[in-house]
């Protein structure tokens, strides 16, 4: 099965429509690999930053410990980051494998699987970041109308580390958004005006 | 400029690759129009449900009024719904116009604009729903570890109406997600293995 010459070893790349598309293909593949590596690294960083965050405070001789499990949104974010890291690791291996073997790993079912996975991950990580960011805003600013007091003036170090974790996760989710556009490109151009050529299943 | 026969009047539809793709095209266009109408209606409904929500309560002879502006996430959701409704109205008009005129409105810059708009709206509405849902969870369940008390036992009617607004907005954002996949399909298949045919700018 052939897919616009992607993954075909350099010695026998068929000429489809000039060098222009081949250059685009190469750039798309490199961008994909770089983004997946960034996501893998930052998702782990985000999960560690939030998951290991802890701060003890003595209030009226009672020790209180702030930890990420106090806020469900942070637990959700750690899980989302973990899933994004595991998913990206698999995808990085797939990218490298297809580069090393120089063979074509691309077909419609695989393209659909990658597209669906990327979409799911993009929406999942964005949802987790939005929920965690909303919680962080409450923690930082409080909500006086509802008598929810700000807690970051008490647990400053804890809040800062959560903030770093959320920032890291935000980059993960933005990268996933770019990736999901790339995988949409890779999938849907298989449905181009090809007159049945190269549209193999 | 021609785009796989989409929008060409029925009398002179060119035969590209059988009836199969033409049927898919027609279904895609109808699905798109229906989804955009649903989004338009539900986004307005969601904005009205949340924007008009208000409940007065007398606590220790002091009247307190709960309104959506007490929570920034709800303000954000109303704005996101308003944007989604306005955007969908424009898109519905475009869809209808292209159907009535029977001419092809499709070209790469327009496809890119629709793709970008749909993506932006999908991520925007999903972010707004996630933030509002997180706030609603705090309001409904409280967060005892942080001494944030639940407020929905005091403002039951207010909370229910917010819940309905969030549910309506969730359907909006899920529909936007499906639409953004459709517009990705419409855009990226223009980059298919077309050997220069039908790839007009």
Digit-coded pLDDT (tens) for B75-121? 999 999 999 999 999 999 998 888 787 655 567 888 899 999 999 99
Q: In this predicted complex, what is the ipTM?
A: 0.80
What is the token pair recorded at B193? 């293995």
Q: How confident is the model at residue A147 (pLDDT cuts 50, 70, 90)?
A: confident
Residue A117 scores a pLDDT above 50: yes
Map residue B198 onto helix, strand or coil: coil
Identify the H or E element spanning B195.
Answer: none
Residues of chain A in contact with residue B127, where contact means CB-CB under 8 angstroms, are 126-127, 130
Confidence at residue A100, expressed as pLDDT on a 0 to 100 scale: 80
Contact B148 A137 (CB under 8 A): no
Residues A188, A4: Cα–Cα separation, whole Å? 13
Q: Is A148 on the interface with B (CB under 8 A)?
A: yes
* pTM of this structure: 0.82
Residues of chain A in contact with residue B189, where contact means CB-CB under 8 angstroms, are 188-189, 191-193
| CA triple B35-B38-B41, angle to 5 deg | 150
Chain B: closest CA distance from residue A72 (Å): 9
The structural domains of chain B, with segments of one domain joined by +, span 10-191
Residue B74 scores a pLDDT above 90: yes
Chain B: closest CA distance from residue A70 (Å): 6
H helix intervals, B58-153: 72-101, 108-141
Confidence at residue B64, expressed as pLDDT on a 0 to 100 scale: 82
Confidence at residue B10, expressed as pLDDT on a 0 to 100 scale: 43
- What is the percentage of chain B residues whose pLDDT exceeds 90? 46
Confidence at residue A178, expressed as pLDDT on a 0 to 100 scale: 95
Find out whether A43 and A176 touch, Cβ atoms under 8 Å. Answer: no
Task: Classify strands A54-59 and A62-67 as parallel, antiparallel or unpaired.
Answer: antiparallel
Contact B123 A126 (CB under 8 A): yes
Q: How confident is the model at residue A8 (pLDDT cuts 50, 70, 90)?
A: very low
Chain A: closest CA distance from residue B17 (Å): 6
Confidence at residue B35, expressed as pLDDT on a 0 to 100 scale: 95
Residues of chain A in contact with residue B137, where contact means CB-CB under 8 angstroms, are 72
Residues B51, A172: Cα–Cα separation, whole Å? 33
| CA triple A23-A201-A190, angle to 5 deg | 35
Of B8-12, B46-50, B68-72, the one with minimum mean pLDDT is B8-12
Q: How confident is the model at residue B37 (pLDDT cuts 50, 70, 90)?
A: very high
Residues of chain B in contact with residue A135, where contact means CB-CB under 8 angstroms, are 134, 138
Q: Is A75 on the interface with B (CB under 8 A)?
A: no
Confidence at residue B16, expressed as pLDDT on a 0 to 100 scale: 46
Q: How confident is the model at residue A196 (pLDDT cuts 50, 70, 90)?
A: very low
The winner for highest mean pLDDT among A35-39, A93-97, A157-161 is A35-39
Q: Is A71 on the interface with B (CB under 8 A)?
A: yes
Residues B64, B76: Cα–Cα separation, whole Å? 23
Q: How far apart are the first and last CA of chain B?
A: 7
Residues of chain A in contact with residue B6, where contact means CB-CB under 8 angstroms, are none
Contact B146 A4 (CB under 8 A): no
Find out whether A173 and B176 touch, Cβ atoms under 8 Å. Answer: no
The more confident residue out of A87 and B6 is A87
What average pLDDT does chain A have? Answer: 82
Q: How confident is the model at residue A200 (pLDDT cuts 50, 70, 90)?
A: very low
In DSSP terms, A59 is beta-bridged to: A62
Nearest beta carbon to residue A146 from set B16, B17, B70: B70
Nearest beta carbon to residue A193 from set B126, B188, B197: B197
Q: Is B149 on the interface with A (CB under 8 A)?
A: yes
Residues A117, A111: Cα–Cα separation, whole Å? 10
Mean pLDDT, residues A73-89 taken together = 96
Q: Is A200 on the interface with B (CB under 8 A)?
A: no
| CA distances for B125 relative to A126, A132, B15, angstroms | 11, 16, 39
Confidence at residue A99, expressed as pLDDT on a 0 to 100 scale: 78
Cβ-count burial B168-187 (b if 16+ within 10 Å, e if not): bbbbbbbbbbebbbbbbbbb
Identify the H or E element spanning B172.
Answer: helix B156-188
Residue A9 scores a pLDDT above 50: no
């Amino acid at each position: 099965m052939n897919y616009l010459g992607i993954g075909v070893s350099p010695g026998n790349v068929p000429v489809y429509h000039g060098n222009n598309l081949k250059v685009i293909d190469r750039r798309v593949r490199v961008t994909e690999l770089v983004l997946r590596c960034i996501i893998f690294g930052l998702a782990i960083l985000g999960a560690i930053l939030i998951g290991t965050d802890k701060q003890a405070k003595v209030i009226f001789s009672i020790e209180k410990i702030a930890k990420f499990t106090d806020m469900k949104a942070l637990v959700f974010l750690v899980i989302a980051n973990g899933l994004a890291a595991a998913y990206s690791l698999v995808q990085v291996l797939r990218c490298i494998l297809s580069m090393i073997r120089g063979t074509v790993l691309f077909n419609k079912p695989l393209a659909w699987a990658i597209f669906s996975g990327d979409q799911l991950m993009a929406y999942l990580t964005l949802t987790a970041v939005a929920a965690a960011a909303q919680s962080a805003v409450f923690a930082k600013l409080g909500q006086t109308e509802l008598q929810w007091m700000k807690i970051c003036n008490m647990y400053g170090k804890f809040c800062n580390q959560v903030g770093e974790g959320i920032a890291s996760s935000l980059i993960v989710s933005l990268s996933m958004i770019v990736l999901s556009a790339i995988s949409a490109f890779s999938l849907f151009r298989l449905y181009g005006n090809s007159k049945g050529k190269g549209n193999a299943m």
